[in-house]
Chains A and B, each alone.
Chain A
Amino acid sequence: MSNGGPAKMKTDNAKPARRHFLKKLGGLAAAGGVATATHAAWGGHTLSDTFADFFQQHYREMSDIEIRETLERIERKAKNRYGVDIRCKDTAAIEGVLFGYAINVSKCRGYRDCVHACVKENNLSRDTQYIRVLELDRDNLNLHEGDHYYNSDTVPVEGKHYFPMQCMHCDNPPCVKACPVEATWTEPDGIVVVDYDWCIGCRYCMAACPYQARHFNWGYPKLPAEEITTETHYLGNRPRPRGVVEKCHFCIQRTREGRQPACQEACPSGARVFGNLLDPNSEIRYVLENKAVFRLKEDLGTEPKFWYFRDR
């Protein structure tokens, strides 16, 4: 509530968009009106919201109305919990797009700007990081000898090199196979996503992932209200519930709208190349075709859509 001022301003900005959205749905506007009325009557987190949460269907099974109600409920819950107006969308994958990532290991200086940009953009609990940067002796690529928590005053340290890791968005993801309730799957644009509202929290996917890319919300996410990123996606950076698994989603809320992921934007040394693998003119295709790229643990057959390369 301390940030009531700015939050209110955001509400004013968000409202026309919502109305526009409702109008677009035409005949469904009436149903929306009912939902709004209930909301006003109960003034926030209601019994009906709790019921709706409990009986919420799997994301891919929901009708358009159910999805819209769910998104509104998510916005309402964020308002209740953090006092912040967020906008939650579920922008679909763009046809003809398959995302891939490549990292120029020789350009990475170990600044970890990507790590922190990711935390902020994706509303991560402040004890969770999707990206980890390993510090290794120069020319050593044995992950088991990397330092996950290097903490020197300045980077890069002489004689060391830096190796960023995050979800590899495998084409053959062991985590997706493992999930007993299909709460995680590969989207048409190649992003491996989690339905946070469907995950039962068994953590079998975490055991299955060979890249340690999945993170569990052991408690409520520690998310400072004043730092919340308000443009969110259902399968992406919306505030997370407790007791569910989450992971890097290639900034789905940005990349599906033609923007670059936060980590790519934040990198000051230009080590990160993200783009559409199906576009022959994309930078990522140039890298894959002209650099000696490699992937992590290729022997496991996971087919990561995440490559590494070096300049020299």
Chain B
Amino acid sequence: MTDNNGHTGLWAFLRDGVHEILHGGRCYWMWVCFLLVFMTIGFLVYLYQITNGLLVTNMTNQVSWGFYISNFTFLVGVAAAAIMLAVPAYIFDRKDIKDVVLMGDTMAVAAVAMAILFVVVDLGRPDRIWHLIPTIGKFHFPESLLAWDVVVLNGYILLNLGISSYILYQHYHDREPKKSRYFPIVIIAIFWAISIHTVTAFLYSSNSGRPIWNNALLAPRFIASAFASGPAIMAIGLQIIRGMTNYPVSQSVINHLAIVTSIALQVTLFFIGAEIFTEFYNEGEHAASARYLFFGLHGHTALTPWIWTAILLLLIAVTIFMIHRTRNNPILMNTAFVFTVIGIWIEKGMGLVIPGFVPTPIGEIYEYVPSIAEIMITLGIWAFGLLFFTIMAKAALPIQCRYMRQYSDPRHPDACAINSNDAKISRTD
């Protein structure tokens, strides 16, 4: 079915992609089913939320954004960090990174898709989402930062889909992608990536009534921590791909990501320190939220253990990354990657969003903990993102492999050899 005559045109491209997604080994199917279970549960709980309203969450008029928006914020950062592969691959032409850059793009698309879903499940009236469509609805651009976010997130998803599908499509047809075609888009996407996280930071920092958000360091802090968490997730993902398939992921790529994560973590921790100093050296009313986060306010300490756990994890991770011997130890390095992801997820998620609402601008304190429904829906969206990434990678990797083999890449003589049941990465003939 996939002889040389067979794979021309868009139809064959899509057909082979779907075929690849539907044919995998036991591990693949177990993983897919595992994710589908969580997606189904998440979807059912979302129906429950639709039926009963956001009442099923633990959000209130005091803490009016919670777990959903926390995850949204974290994921926008992950998406932006795709440029930590795109820049060395496309601008500095690093061949080893070029081999995996499509995975970075795919991860960005998955992360933005999840981020958008987190906003959608947070809406009180998802049935009115069409009000956001310019001309049909009433789009408050450029005044509303949320309108900006809609523009940059959708733009980013299109840019990344465009780049990766063009390159993949060319590879599928054994053609070298034309640099003049994709390079300008890559440049736009790189700047765009910075913009998505900057806009998301401005969404918070523009609120002059909430001092913990309302500072100019927020956007730089967002970018810095994104460049730690994103590469860490990519490093974990690429190593899993390397383990499950024979796709050639060079260790030099992982080392590159470790160094990026290391530098970004150092900057992040410095920024956190600068914030703590400024808030507390002359502590005034403006520091109430920071006090709630770091030390607790009037006996309310729900977030305090979390934020110190996050800072501890990040300190351990940065130490591992900064010492050559520990960084080059695979187990320690991966521990550091995992700690980075968890640490930033806490710091930029609940650790950023919730203190903005506690205390309220007029001094009320309500302690928020996500409800079971919120957690189930959140898990469902994460499962969706992982499934999206999995099937996209499943469809894309064989094309990439065949392309590499075709051109008998001297660096990977054994690239993509078929010897694993879970890695049916050649054509079926």
A residues adjacent to B (C-beta < 8 A) = 54, 58, 61, 128, 134, 142-146, 148, 165, 174, 177-183, 198-204, 206-212, 214-220, 241-245, 297, 300-301
Contact = CB atoms under 8 A, between A and B. Distances in A.
B27 to A, nearest CB: 40
Contacts of A61: 138
Contact of A199 (B64, B119, B125, B146): B125
B61 A206 contact: yes
Interface string B345-371: 000000000001101111110000000
29 contacts: A134-B362, A143-B362, A144-B362, A148-B363, A148-B364, A174-B209, A177-B144, A180-B132, A181-B131, A182-B138, A182-B140, A199-B125, A200-B124, A201-B123, A202-B123, A203-B122, A209-B209, A210-B209, A212-B61, A212-B360, A212-B364, A218-B60, A219-B52, A219-B55, A243-B124, A243-B125, A244-B124, A297-B361, A300-B209
Interface of B: 52-55, 57, 59-62, 64-65, 119, 122-129, 131-132, 137-140, 143-147, 150, 203-204, 206-210, 285, 288, 356-357, 359-364
Contact of A220 (B53, B123, B131, B207): B53
Contacts of B124: 199-203, 216-217, 242-245
Given A142-B285, A174-B208, A200-B129, A180 B144 contact: yes
Contacts of B364: 148, 212
Contacts of A54: 127
A193 B156 CA distance: 34
A204 B123 contact: no
Nearest to B360: A212
Contacts, number: 148
B361 A212 contact: yes
B144 A178 contact: yes
Nearest to B208: A300
Contacts of A179: 140, 144, 146
A202 B59 contact: no
Contacts of B52: 219
A181 B360 CA distance: 25
B128, B147, B285: residue with the most chain A Cβ atoms closer than 10 Å: B128
Given A200-B129, A202-B123, A212 B362 contact: yes
A203 B288 CA distance: 22
B361 A58 contact: no
A219 B288 CA distance: 30
B125 A204 contact: no
A273 B150 CA distance: 42
Contacts of B146: 178-180, 202, 204
Contacts of B360: 212
- Going nearest first, the 4 A-B pairs with the smallest beta carbon separation are A201-B124, A210-B209, A243-B124, A144-B363
Contacts of A145: 363
A183 B209 contact: no
Contact of B65 (A207, A215, A244): A207
